[in-house]
Amino acid sequence: MRSGLVLAANSIPSRPERASTVKTLARLFDTSLRLLHPFIPFVTEESWGHLRNALRESPISSLSKDWPNALIVAKWPDPRPLEGWEQAKIADFELIQEIVRAIRNLRAEKNVAPSKKIAASIAAGDKTGLLTEQSTVIAALAGLNESELTLAESLKDKPKDAAALVVGSVEIYLPLEGMVDLAGEKSRLEKELKEAESHIERLEKLLSGDFADKAPAALVQKERDKLAGYKNTAEKIKAQLR
């Protein structure tokens, strides 16, 4: 480990932004080890010692000049003041998370195999640059075929026979034809709707009779909750069949 750290620390590129990246990584490693020390003290003490020695033999030795000889007596990390760029980056990260989550949820609803790569058209508005930059990541995490991923500020014509998702100001269209067997999906949904309607009919009949007056209140409420759940399921299925 020590030889690797020394090599990395002594190989700082001349370009200022790359040197800054190496310094940031060193600070991150230092802070992480300090925070982890109460939980895995032997591992962190050993690793931090190698980091300290490697930095002292590197062009960025000033970074470790105030460090003590052992991690156990090192100062607990202080929170660094915000620099003004963090909130925008966090918002961008959360947007990408929500996009991936929305696509994954739809895939699960449509029973699309995790291994199946699907196409997508995305109207990203002012987030087009961000999503283009992160397109490989989004495709990998959401199970998209990157070669069939279309990104634009807006789409003149909305794709036909496509499931539409809206995440913030971003519109996502996933073509159902390439994602599922439309005939088979319709048949499955109709079967599930019929089953839900059967439960609704049974429970409505039960709750309109003597059961609602004679059974314990908790049991009656339980059946009412079931009825509400089946009605909600039926409405969702009907919406998908439209």
161 and 91 part of one domain: yes
106 and 169 part of one domain: yes
Which pLDDT score, from 0 to 100, does residue 4 have?
A: 52
What is the C-alpha separation between 52 and 71, in angstroms, rounded?
A: 9
Cβ contact 36:44 at 8 Å: yes
Which pLDDT score, from 0 to 100, does residue 11 have?
A: 52
- Reference 144, options 174, 101, 170; nearest CA is 174
Q: Phi and psi dihedrals of 163, rounded to 5?
A: -80, 130
Average pLDDT of the chain, as a whole number: 86
Tell me the per-residue pLDDT of 44-90, one tens digit each, with 9 for 90 and over. 999 999 999 888 887 777 888 889 999 999 999 988 888 888 888 99
Which pLDDT score, from 0 to 100, does residue 54 have?
A: 87
Which range, of 6-20, 50-64, 159-173, averages the lowest pLDDT?
Answer: 6-20
Instruction: Tell me if the pTM is above 0.85.
Output: no
41 and 96 part of one domain: no
Bigger pLDDT: 3 vs 140? 140
Sheet holding 118-123, edge to edge: 144-152, 118-123, 170-175, 162-167
In a domain, 80, yes or no: no
For residues 22-36, average pLDDT: 92
Q: Show the domain range for 219.
A: 182-241
What is the C-alpha separation between 77 and 191, in angstroms, rounded?
A: 59
What is the C-alpha separation between 202 and 68, in angstroms, rounded?
A: 74
What is the C-alpha separation between 13 and 20, in angstroms, rounded?
A: 9
Which pLDDT score, from 0 to 100, does residue 241 have?
A: 76
Which pLDDT score, from 0 to 100, does residue 163 have?
A: 83
Cβ contact 60:5 at 8 Å: no
100 and 160 part of one domain: yes
In a domain, 156, yes or no: yes
User: Which amino acid appears at position 229 of this protein?
Assistant: G
Bigger pLDDT: 9 vs 186? 186
Which pLDDT score, from 0 to 100, does residue 6 have?
A: 47
Which pLDDT score, from 0 to 100, does residue 233 have?
A: 87
Domain closes at, from 17, 48, 73: 73
Domain closes at, from 48, 73, 98: 73
Which range, of 56-65, 100-109, 121-130, averages the lowest pLDDT?
Answer: 56-65
In a domain, 81, yes or no: no
In a domain, 79, yes or no: no
104 and 56 part of one domain: no
Domain count, the chain: 3
Tell me the per-residue pLDDT of 186-225, one tens digit each, with 9 for 90 and over. 787 789 899 999 999 999 999 998 888 888 988 999 999 9
Which pLDDT score, from 0 to 100, does residue 17 have?
A: 65
For residues 176-189, average pLDDT: 74
For residues 93-106, average pLDDT: 95
109 and 152 part of one domain: yes
99 and 172 part of one domain: yes
Bigger pLDDT: 115 vs 182? 115
For residues 1-15, average pLDDT: 51
Which pLDDT score, from 0 to 100, does residue 188 have?
A: 78
Longest CA span, the chain: 86
Per-residue pLDDT at 2 exceeds 70: no
**Torsion angle, alpha carbons of 89, 92, 98, 101, to 10:** -80
